[in-house]
Structure 1
Amino acid sequence: MARLAFKLSARKVETLKEKGRYSDGAGLYLRIADGGRRSWVFRYLRPSGGQTELGFGPAKGAGKDGLTLADARLRAEEARALLRRGIDPATERKAAETAGQTFGEFADSYLESIRAGFKGKNAVADWKRDLEVRCKPLRPKALADIATNDVLAVLSPIWLTIPRTARETRSRIERVLSAARAKGLRSGENPALWRGNLKELLPKAPKSKRHHKAAPYEDVPGIVRELRTKHSGADTAVNLAAEYIILTAVRTGEARFMRAREINFDDKLWTIPAERMKTEDHPEGRPHEVPLCARAIAILRAVMPKGLDPDAYVFAGQWSKDHTKPLGHNAVLHALKSVYPAITTHGCRSSFRDWAGDETHFPREVAEMALAHKVGDEVEQAYRRGTALKKRRELMEAWDRYVESEANVIQLRAQQ
C-alpha cells in the first residue's frame, strides 16, 4: 500500500497560529478558527453520495491540550477503513453514541420534539401519562432490545379493561419506535405494529360507546329556571355559565376557555378557534362559529366587566376577579347536578339534539353542524364550503324561545 503523503509535522501543528485550514493529506485537516480555536476535521465522500466532514476534536497546540498529529492520523485511518467497507464514519459514530439509549430517554426527547404540533390542551399530558406510567416497564430497556413480548406486557393488562386507553398507548409506542428507527437507533420490524403483528396476538376488545347522562329536553326549561333562581340568590357566574352552555349547545371546555376577543356583539357571533375544537368530530383546522341568541348575549354582558382585556376569560374562576383564570374543571357540572343530579354537561348537547330532531323541521345536517360535528363523508365535507350559519342561527333562536317560554311556566319535574 502506498504511503500517505503526510504534509504536516508535529512541530508545525503546534506552532501554526494563522486562521485557516491546513491539509495533512487524505482528507485530514487542521482547522484554526477565530480566537485561535484549533480542531481536527476529516473530509470525505459519503458512501451514499455527497461530501461531508467529521470532527475529531480539539488539536494540541502551544500550551493547549488536545489531539496530537499522530492521534488525528490514527482516527483518520480508522475512518478510511470504515469507508473501504462502505460504512459512513459519521453514522457509525452516532450509532455507537446512542447504542445504549433507553426507551424512556428517547420517548421523552421525542415528545418534546413533536409537542408544538399538538392542538388539544390535554394532548401533552395524555402522552406523558402513557409514556411515563403505562410504558413504565419499557422505559429502562434499550431501544434496540425492545421486542413484541415487551409491548404485549404493557398492553395485555389493560387491553380489555380500558380498551380506548390501550389503543392510544399502543399507537404512541409505535410512533416512538418508528422515530427511533428513522434515526438509526433500531432496525427490523416495529414490535408495536398492529396489522400482521399485535392484531393476531391480542383479543378483540369490545367497542362500547359511552353515553353521557342527559335530561329529557322537556326538563331543560325547568333546569334553566332553577339555575336562574340559584343565581339570583347567590350571584355566581357558574350558574350563568351552565345556562349559556345549554343555550349554545357547546362543550364545557369550549365555554370555560372562551376569551373576550372571541365575541362579536355586533354580529351576535362567537368564534371558537380551531385549536380548541374536538378534532375527531369537527373539520380539522377550521374555527367554529356559534350564533348567539338574545339570552346568550345578555349572559355575556352580565359576566363581562366593562373594559375587559381581550385575552381575559369570559367566565372567570371563583377567585379570579381579573378574569385571568377560567372556571374550574368541574364547576359547571356541580352547578347542573345541584339542580338535576342525573345529568352531565355533555348530556345537555344530547337534550338539544333530541329536541331539534323531535320538535323542529330543521334538516339533520343543520343540527349536527350546530354541535360542531362533521357532516357526511370526506367527499361531502370537501364540497361543503358553507357552515349554514343563517340556518343554524334560526335553529338556536328557536331553541332559545323554547327554553325561555317554558322556563317561565314549567317547574322542574320530580326525578326518579
Structure 2
Amino acid sequence: MARPINKLSALEVKSETKPGRHGDGGGLYLQVEPSGSKSWVFMWKRDGKRTAMGLGAFPTVGLADAREKAGAARKNLSAGRDPLLHARQEAEREEAEPTFAEAAEAFLDEDRMASWKNAKHRAQWQMTLGDAYCKYLGQMKVSAIETADVLKVLKPIWSTKPETASRLRGRIERVLSFAKMRGWRSGENPAMWRGHLDAILPKPEKLKRRGHHRAMVYQNVPAFIRRLREASGMDAKVLEFTILTAARSGETVNATWDEVDFEQKVWTVPANRMKAGRKHEVPLSPRAIALLRSLPRRSDNPYVFSGLRKGRSISAASMEMLLRRWELKDQTTIHGFRSCFRDWTGDCTTFPREVAEAALAHVVGDKAEQAYRRGTALERRRKLMTAWADFLASADGKGKVIPLAGRRKVAAE
C-alpha cells in the first residue's frame, strides 16, 4: 500500500520547531535544525541504499513548491533515473545555456558570418537584435522563449515598420535555429513564419506600402517647444532633446552618459544604435547642453533619460503617450519633427543640403565624398544645430499648436 502524502499543513510547516525530520509522505520531509532553520529533503531507497536530496530552504521554498519538486523526483525514480544526478545535469545545462543576447552574439561571431558583404550589414543585425528592438528577449534563456515572447517584440512595429519587423522576425528565427543546433533549445522555432506566425500576423507584403509620418509645419514648433518646457516630466525632456538634436527616438531614449562629451559638446551615438549602422556625432547646442545638465545622474543607471524601473531608460512610447495626452497624436508624430528640421533648414537658412542631411545622419555621396567632408562637417553642423535651437526658442512661431491647421504628411525614411 502506497504511503499517504500531503500529511503536513502550511500552518504546521510554519510553526514546527521540534528538531528532526517531519514527513509529508512520498519521500518528502521538512527538516528542522536545532537552530530553528528549516529545509526540505527528498529521500529514497534503491538497492538497499538510502539517498537524500535537498530541495531548498523554507520559507524560500514553500510547501507547494516542495511537493512539486518531490513529485518530479518521484517521476524520475519511476523512469529509472537518479533524481540527484538528474538535478545536477539540469543545473549544469541551465548554467551553460545562454541568454538570447548571448546567443545572438555567438551567432554573429560565427566564421560563416564573415562572408557578409560589409560591416554595415553586420552592424544592422547587431542593432536590431540588441536593445533597440529585442531588449525584452535579451536576458531570457533561449530555451524559455515562446511564441508570445516573439510577438511581444514584433507586434508593436509590425504595422508601423513592416520592413524592419519582417527582417527582425527572420533574424530572431535565425538566432533561435542556431541555438537549437547548438543544443540550447528544442522544439519548433517560435519565430517561424510559414505555418506559424503567418496565422497570427498580417502578411508583410500587404503592409509594405510606403507610409508617411505626420508632421506639423515648422512655424508651429517653437510654440510646441514652449509647451514642452512648461512640463516637468522626463517624457517632455527627452522629446525636447530629440527635437533639438533632430534625432530618432530610439537614439535618444537609449542615450547613455558615457556617450556625452560635455567638454567638446558632442553626443556620439554608437553604430549599433544607428539606422545606417555608422557612428554618428551630434554637436550639442547650448540649450541641449543645459537640458542635459538639468537631468539627475544616478549611480545605478547609465541612461541619460532614466525610466521608472531601476537601471532602465525611459520608453520611446512615453513620447507618443505625451502626444496622445495633448491630443496631438493624430496630427503629428515624433519622427515628423525631423522633417520640420529639414524643411526649416531649406526654407530659412543658407546651410548646404549635405550639411542638413549629415545632421539627420543620412548617407550622402560616395565613400570618397563622405571621407572628404568628415573633417569639417561637425563644426558646420554645430552652427546649424545652434541656429535650430535659437529658432525653437523664438517667440514668433506662427499659429497655435492645437489645432494644427497646417499639418502635412512627409515621406517616411
- What TM-score, normalized to structure 2? 0.51
Residues 407 and 290 of structure 1: CA distance in aligned 2, closer, same or farther (over 3 Å): farther
Q: CA deviation at 1:394?
A: 0.7
1:10-409 pair list within 5 angstroms: 113-115=106-108, 118-119=126-127, 120-122=130-132, 165-166=165-166, 208-229=209-230, 231=231, 235-278=232-275, 281-283=276-278, 286=279, 288-305=280-297, 308-309=298-299, 312-318=302-308, 324-339=311-326, 340-341=328-329, 342-381=331-370, 383-386=372-375, 388-406=377-395
Q: Distance in 1 between matches of 2:162 and 2:257?
A: 38
Q: CA deviation at 1:397?
A: 0.8
Relative contact order, higher structure (CA 8 A, sep 6+): 2
Q: Distance in 1 between matches of 2:308 and 2:175?
A: 41
Residues 357 and 238 of structure 1: CA distance in aligned 2, closer, same or farther (over 3 Å): same
Q: CA deviation at 1:114?
A: 1.1
Is the CA contact (8 Å cut-off) linking 1:246 and 1:349 kept in structure 2? yes
Q: SS of the counterpart of 1:244?
A: helix
Return the letter of the residue paired with 1:326.
S
Is the CA contact (8 Å cut-off) linking 1:163 and 1:205 kept in structure 2? no
Is the CA contact (8 Å cut-off) linking 2:238 and 2:305 kept in structure 1? yes
Return the letter of the residue paired with 1:246.
I
Q: Per-residue CA shift, 1:276-301, capped at 9, x if unaligned? A: 222xx353xx3x21111121112111
RMSD value, Cα: 4.5
Q: Distance in 2 between matches of 1:325 and 1:167?
A: 26
Residues 269 and 407 of structure 1: CA distance in aligned 2, closer, same or farther (over 3 Å): farther
Q: Distance in 2 between matches of 1:366 and 1:126?
A: 38
Residues 166 and 333 of structure 1: CA distance in aligned 2, closer, same or farther (over 3 Å): closer
Q: CA deviation at 1:392?
A: 0.3
Q: Distance in 1 between matches of 2:167 and 2:394?
A: 46
Q: Distance in 2 between matches of 1:178 and 1:315?
A: 35
Q: Distance in 1 between matches of 2:251 and 2:204?
A: 37
Q: Distance in 2 between matches of 1:272 and 1:382?
A: 19
Is the CA contact (8 Å cut-off) linking 1:291 and 1:396 kept in structure 2? yes
Q: Show structure 2 runs of 5+ residues with no match.
A: 1-99, 110-121, 151-157, 182-202, 406-413
Q: CA deviation at 1:349?
A: 1.0
Over the matched positions of the two proteins, sequence identity in percent amounts to: 37
Is the CA contact (8 Å cut-off) linking 1:316 and 1:326 kept in structure 2? yes
- What TM-score, normalized to structure 1? 0.50
Residues 166 and 271 of structure 1: CA distance in aligned 2, closer, same or farther (over 3 Å): closer
Q: Distance in 2 between matches of 1:290 and 1:163?
A: 27
Q: CA deviation at 1:203?
A: 12
Larger Rg: 1
